[in-house]
Amino acid sequence: MGLEVQIHEVNAHLSIKAAGTYSLPNLYELFAKVKEETENRADRGVILDITEVEGAISVLDMLVLGEYSSKYWKQGFKVAIVTPASGLNKFFENVARNRGVQLAVVSNESMAMAWLK
């Protein structure tokens, strides 16, 4: 994987933090890793922190990633994505949600935890 990924089990959710340089294949791999980790841990909620992933994500990539996430992430678990301003945004969130994915794009971890509850 092109991104460094740290995974921690927290009481009610998984905390996954990624760092490195943005590329579409890197986020494909990261999303697949989220799926794998949730399946291995009974589909708990996930806080995915990509604040240390450098690079701007284009609108076209957000569309593709939203569609991609709907193929990987089941409706049975929730994902809160903590992202910088140049990262994923509400457009990505809407694309994924319109395809049945339970996710929220937020700007900090406390918002992510509140949404998971």
With pLDDT > 90 as the criterion, what percentage of the chain qualifies? 69
The structural domains of the chain, with segments of one domain joined by +, span 4-116
Tokens encoding 62? 């957000």
- pTM for the predicted model, two decimal places: 0.92
User: Which fold, 4-116?
Assistant: Transcription Regulator spoIIAA (3.30.750)
With pLDDT > 70 as the criterion, what percentage of the chain qualifies? 97
Check the CA dihedral 96-30-47-53 and report its sign. negative
Q: What is the CA radius of gyration of the chain?
A: 13
Q: How many CB atoms lie within 10 A of CB 63?
A: 14
